[in-house]
Chain A
Amino acid sequence: DGGITQSPKYLFRKEGQNVTLSCEQNLNHDAMYWYRQDPGQGLRLIYYSQIVNDFQKGDIAEGYSVSREKKESFPLTVTSAQKNPTAFYLCASRRADSTYNEQFFGPGTRLTVL
């Protein structure tokens, strides 16, 4: 089955720690995205990548970092500089064909700071 996987499902972080969230897709999609979801708010874009070895900051990139070494993978690191990291993190991907604009989402990772 083609799809997007995220791991882990739940992640607990201590103050001052960096943690990395995994996102893998086997849809052969070119573009990948990371969003953050907080209660009562819309999804907010953290980083996105349209091709391998290239990525751009979204609206709330401070305290986060990404890499895109493979088409299938787009890991997100939440650094200790992110002041309020507790949230639900969603990874998405999209075909590069301009006819298809919709993004498809993974199951999410819930990060909690202890």
Chain B
Amino acid sequence: EDQVTQSPEALRLQEGESSSLNCSYTVSGLRGLFWYRQDPGKGPEFLFTLYSAGEEKEKERLKATLTKKESFLHITAPKPEDSATYLCAVQGNLIQGAQKLVFGQGTRLTINP
């Protein structure tokens, strides 16, 4: 069974203090690992897709990396507007042709000014 575990559950940083969020996964044949950002009371916003170990993607202050067992979302010099819950999801082998995602429980990030 595909599983995703995110850590820490919550992280509080000062503005400008860089850190990383972790997403550990077990999956039968990784077809993609996805990062989303979710603001309170809103739907998740797509950030990145990573397909193979060693791949990296960047967007503004965020950089996502992937190994065979985990992914990291690095946040460099964060600003208060980066405060949100960050969700990680994986897609394993197709089941009856369906591309289903399995989500972690999320990391709630708070950036204090």
Instruction: List A residues at the B interface (Cβ < 8 Å).
Output: 4, 6, 31, 40-45, 48, 50, 56, 58, 88, 90, 94, 101-108, 110
Contact = CB atoms under 8 A, between A and B. Distances in A.
A41 B49 CA distance: 22
B49 A102 contact: yes
Nearest to A110: B41
A58 B43 CA distance: 19
A88 B32 CA distance: 25
Interface stretch (B14-22, B66-74, B75-83, B100-108): B100-108
B43 A108 contact: yes
A97 to B, nearest CB: 11
Given A42-B4, A48-B98, A101-B99, A90 B34 contact: no
Given A101-B99, A106-B43, 10 more contacts: A40-B9, A42-B87, A43-B44, A43-B103, A58-B100, A90-B43, A94-B99, A101-B49, A103-B46, A105-B36
Interface string B22-48: 000000000110101000011111100
A29 B46 CA distance: 16
A78 to B, nearest CB: 18
Interface of B: 4, 9, 31-32, 34, 36, 41-46, 49, 87, 89, 91, 96-106
Contact of A105 (B32, B44, B49, B105): B44
Nearest to A101: B32
Nearest to A107: B43
Contacts of B43: 4, 6, 90, 105-108
Nearest to B45: A105
7 contacts: A40-B105, A42-B87, A48-B98, A50-B98, A90-B43, A107-B43, A108-B42
A42 B103 contact: yes
Given A42-B87, A101-B32, A107 B42 contact: yes
A4 B104 CA distance: 23
